[in-house]
A and B are shown apart, each in its own frame.
Chain A
Amino acid sequence: MPALGELSMLAFAFLAGVVSIILYKRSKIGRDDILKNLQTDSKRILESAVKKSQSILQKAEEEGLDIIDESKTAKRVFSKRYEAELSSVARDLENDLKIEIEKAEKEFLAYLDSLKARTEKVESNLESIIQSRIEATFTSFDAKVTELLSQTQTRSFASIEEELKNARRIIDEYKTQQMKLVDDNVISILEKTINIVLAKKLTLRDQLDLVQDALEKAKIETSVS
């Protein structure tokens, strides 16, 4: 205990100081004789105090050394205990950790198994959903293609029929126009022929008679008067 030794020394020094102060005060009162005695006494006291303090210091040192030895011994004991406790705790912890790890591993494996099972289930579900959607898409696509083809076919037929109808109409119109043209030409040729023939055959008298007849008819038709 070095701290105790130091305290003793300090206490002793303090007492010595107090005594010195007291002595100094007494010496003021007893003048030089007294001062001498006092000096002698104080010297003796001081020497005694020094001796005592040295003795105390020695004792304190010894005690301190003892305490240090004790503490070292205690430290060793404590260290051994501590080590033993620590190794016990470490062992316990290791065992617990092992158990926990095994448990966690088992749980993890179980989780993995369940995850695998769920994944397989989800995969299976997804496959069936995808399959059904693909089938539905194909079915819809087939239906749409069929409908589109049907519509296209219908439109094509309608368009062809319309085209044929138009073509027939155009042909009929052309035929009618051509027939009318032929008829017009026939009538025109007939008129020219009749004109040429009548110009040669009809006399002036005949022409005048025809004019006369026409004007007679005109009088009847138009009531020229």
Chain B
Amino acid sequence: MATNPLFTKILESTYTKRQLERRIRSLKFYISNRLFSPGSSQVQESVDETELYWIVSLGEEFYANFNKENLEKTLKEFQEEAAKIEPLIVFIAFNMPHEEIEALGARLRKKFSQPDFLIDVKHDPALIGGASIVWQGVYYDLSIQKRIRDHRVQILERIKEFVH
């Protein structure tokens, strides 16, 4: 459970580990520009539109907590907090759209009742369908491929019956 309220605020709308790491980097870039180069257009040019929308969505109250002195230290704390979180690694057979990944993360967070719950989605076409996960170092295969392999004997018997 995150102890820093600013980090908690970031986690509220962030559902994947990669997204969190990318957003911390974007925040650093954005806040640095705000504090050291106000009025610069570098952020608009360099940061993705969706990410920029998210940065703005955090509100001025969030950014009021940062100044030139605590910026580095605070962002370093964010990185350390982020490193502590062990995500649920999810292997899926298809390329899931970004918004669906977020929706999945939100659903799982709600389902597991953990506000700092993160997922890390990876692509594995061999799974055919369903998903396999890695949680706390243990691999759980719940894919269609696994179901086929579990029923290998029966499937082969059916095929042999069909062939003969």
Contacts and interface: CB of A to CB of B under 8 A. Distances in A.
A225 B112 contact: yes
Interface in B24-73: none
Contact of B90 (A194, A195, A206, A215): A215
Interface size band for B: 35 or more
B115 interface: no
A104 interface: no
A198 B128 contact: yes
Contacts, number: 87
Interface residues of A, number: 27
A214 interface: yes
Contact of B111 (A191, A202, A217, A219): A219
Interface stretch (B6-14, B76-84, B148-156): B148-156
Interface string A22-50: 00000000000000000000000000000
Contacts of A15: none
A59 B86 CA distance: 181
Instruction: Determine the main DSSP class of A at the interface with B.
Output: helix
B112 A194 contact: no
A178 to B, nearest CB: 14
A207 B142 contact: no
Interface of B: 88, 90, 92-94, 96-97, 100, 104, 107-108, 111-114, 125-126, 128-133, 135, 138, 140, 142-145, 148-149, 152, 155-156, 159
